[in-house]
Amino acid sequence: DDGDEEDLDEEEAAAAVAAYDDTPAHELAEICARLEAKPQIARERRYENKAVRSKAARAVAASLRAETLRAEIGDLEAEVWPALQRPDCSWEEGRRKWLRRLQSAQLPADQAQLLLDLEEAVHTLQAAPDLVERKPWLKTGHEAIKQRARRFFREGEEEEEGE
């Protein structure tokens, strides 16, 4: 290793293989024994989510299993179910079929589609119009820089500059 922290050059790789071949078997066994005695050296440390203070609220590997995700989606549907029972909402008609699909969904893509279906049903309950989440921006260039540039502006400012 020449200390440059890059991939090994062909000569460096050949030298490493030669050094390994020249190492006596008992020394290799000692090196392996030391690595096994200190697994943190031989293996990558296990990731632990520490961003959330409460250990109970932290995501763990078991949180990502299909059955856990199905249960979470089912709990969400149960929470919004009372609101979806309105006469102007068609969720009740397809709910049984949706619940059957939920119970058999194994793939994340299938579970994502179920969430999208539920979102669509909840969206029908929305009385207010959707808000635009992105700020409006000018598409024309500024005369000082002679280039098209994306620039955010306040509502109504576009008409003022366009005149």
Note down pLDDT in tens along the chain; length 163 residues.
456 666 777 888 888 889 888 988 888 888 878 777 665 544 555 666 777 777 777 666 665 677 888 888 999 999 999 988 887 778 888 899 999 999 998 888 899 999 999 999 888 888 888 777 666 655 566 667 666 555 565 666 555 444 4
pTM of the model: 0.45
Rg (CA), the chain: 30
- Give me 46's structure tokens: 């296990």
Q: Nearest 5°: CA angle at 159, between 154 and 163?
A: 135
